[in-house]
Amino acid sequence: MKRLGLAMIVGLLCCAVAMGAPFDRTPYTGAPGGTSVTIGWSGDPQYAARIEVLPDGYEGWELATTLEPRDPESTDPIHVELTGLLPDTGYQARVVLEANDEIVVSPIVRFHTEPPSGSPVSFVVLGDTQWQWEGENRLAAVGAAIAGETDLDFILHVGDIVESPSSIYWDHWFDSFAGMLRIAPFIPVLGNHEKNHSSYYKTFALPPGAGTRDKRWWALHWGDVVAVGLDTNVRRADQIREQQAWAAEHLSGSETHKFVLFHHPVWSSDAYHGDGYAYDLIYHPIFAEHGVDIVFNGHAHNYERIVHDGVTYLVLGGGGAVPRPLAETRTDGSVIAIENYNFYARIDTSPGRIQVSVPTVAHAGEESFSLTNGRPLDTFSLPPQTLGLEETTIWIGIAAIVGVAIAALLRTLIP
């Protein structure tokens, strides 16, 4: 039933009324940088605001900036760029709203400014959150699981954030993922369900980019990592060429680890969508040439790991939407493909390695939903993890003992 039931609409409206002024959406962050981040929220524009920050290891909140009340008719989210922050530093931030004698303090959000080269980087990727039609709030379950992750630099989303870009869907999404949005900056790309709508551009602060509002595609350079976000909803040849050039430029830098994310899969064994979008011709040669480690996609509501020409492709369409089945025949290059789960991926990088784990949130179907407590769908590393010196010494010793034993046995058997 792909429509909102009356009971669900009434429930959401009651929730919104209960939440009340001044915050409709509590603070969240985006567009992280070396000494900056952007904090956003939405609510009653007639409140004056001050933003306070607290660097890790310091005591006492510091005033970052203040805002006067806005046009009372304004409904757009508020975004404020905080600059002059300390490099490679963890921060807490909060928004304090004030009107007449009322003072309201927001929940605390956390973020970290860009680390130097050689530092580990950790992030989460999810996709296809959308909407569940009935029953338990699957989005909230995924959001709660991710909110339990630690030491994240940022959170990426491969599109289809909401079912449709209207306020009731956005409000439900922000309510469901409020905890997740407080632990690290959130950085998405467009899916087909966002419909390139203005609400997407008004809602999120993204890294430096191009296209519509300089936000339709973007690139995040972060320590040893570069992540390039593209929009595969475009159909115009000039926009495709722009994105090809954008990807090639930003993937040709000195970063050790290179990632790309966009919505539609280059390859997929999905029974509904499959692949066939021609991105294997449009983008894959660029990724292979520039040594991309992992490409993150969604659209297909299942999990799959596919490898072509040394590039790993992960289909991560399990962020909350109803899972969809895989086809009987796997696409070429498929390493592992699993259906009927809601999940996300965590990526941890160090100078010589990328470690990927894909924790499950629930075993799920059209009507079923059973929490799984993080049991992994898949784990792997790139490049394959090598043995350290201590482990190597141990295995050499074991091999020597086995060799001596075999030689002794042979002496007893051979006259």
Q: How far apart are CA 142 and CA 33, in angstroms?
A: 27
Q: How far apart are CA 148 and CA 344, in angstroms?
A: 13
**Tokens at residue 377, please?**
């769908």
> Could you tell me the domains of the chain?
6-112 (2.60.40.10), 121-382 (3.60.21.10)
**Tokens at residue 20, please?**
């009340």
- Under a CB-based contact definition with an 8 Å cutoff, are residues 293 and 328 in contact? no
pLDDT the model gives residue 405: 54
Degrees (nearest 5) of the Cα angle 94, 172, 374? 80
Q: How far apart are CA 76 and CA 67, in angstroms?
A: 15
pLDDT the model gives residue 75: 85
Of 225, 228, 226, 245, the closest CA to residue 237 belongs to 245
Q: How far apart are CA 332 and CA 91, in angstroms?
A: 45
pLDDT the model gives residue 407: 52
Burial of 401 (C-beta count, 10 Å sphere; 0-12/13-18/19+): exposed
134: helix, strand or coil: coil
Local confidence pLDDT in tens for the 415 residues of the chain: 333 443 344 344 444 333 346 899 999 999 999 999 999 999 998 999 999 999 999 999 999 999 999 888 888 999 999 999 999 999 999 999 999 889 999 999 999 999 999 999 999 999 999 987 678 899 999 999 999 999 999 999 999 999 999 999 999 999 999 999 999 999 999 999 999 999 999 999 999 999 999 999 999 999 999 999 999 999 999 999 999 999 999 999 999 999 999 999 999 999 988 887 899 999 999 999 999 999 999 999 999 999 999 999 999 999 999 999 999 999 999 999 999 999 999 999 999 999 999 999 999 998 899 999 899 999 999 985 443 333 333 343 444 454 545 555 545 555 5
pLDDT the model gives residue 389: 36
Q: Each residue of 344-374: b (16+ CB within 10 Å) or e?
A: bbbbbbeeebbbbbbbbbbebeeeebebbee
Q: Residues, the chain, total?
A: 415
pLDDT the model gives residue 402: 47
> Cα dist. 199→118, 194, 310, 373, 401 in Å?
37, 9, 37, 34, 67
Of 307, 297, 303, 242, the closest CA to residue 269 belongs to 303
- Under a CB-based contact definition with an 8 Å cutoff, are residues 256 and 224 in contact? yes
**ω into residue 188 within 30 of 0, thus cis?**
no
Burial of 376 (C-beta count, 10 Å sphere; 0-12/13-18/19+): middle
Of 351, 301, 409, 355, the closest CA to residue 117 belongs to 351
- According to DSSP, residue 159 is labeled S
Q: How many CA atoms, within 13 angstroms, populate the side-chain half-sphere of residue 109?
A: 30
Of 226, 251, 263, 264, the closest CA to residue 349 belongs to 226
Q: How many CA atoms, within 13 angstroms, populate the side-chain half-sphere of residue 179?
A: 13
Q: How far apart are CA 22 and CA 104, in angstroms?
A: 8
**Tokens at residue 378, please?**
């898949």
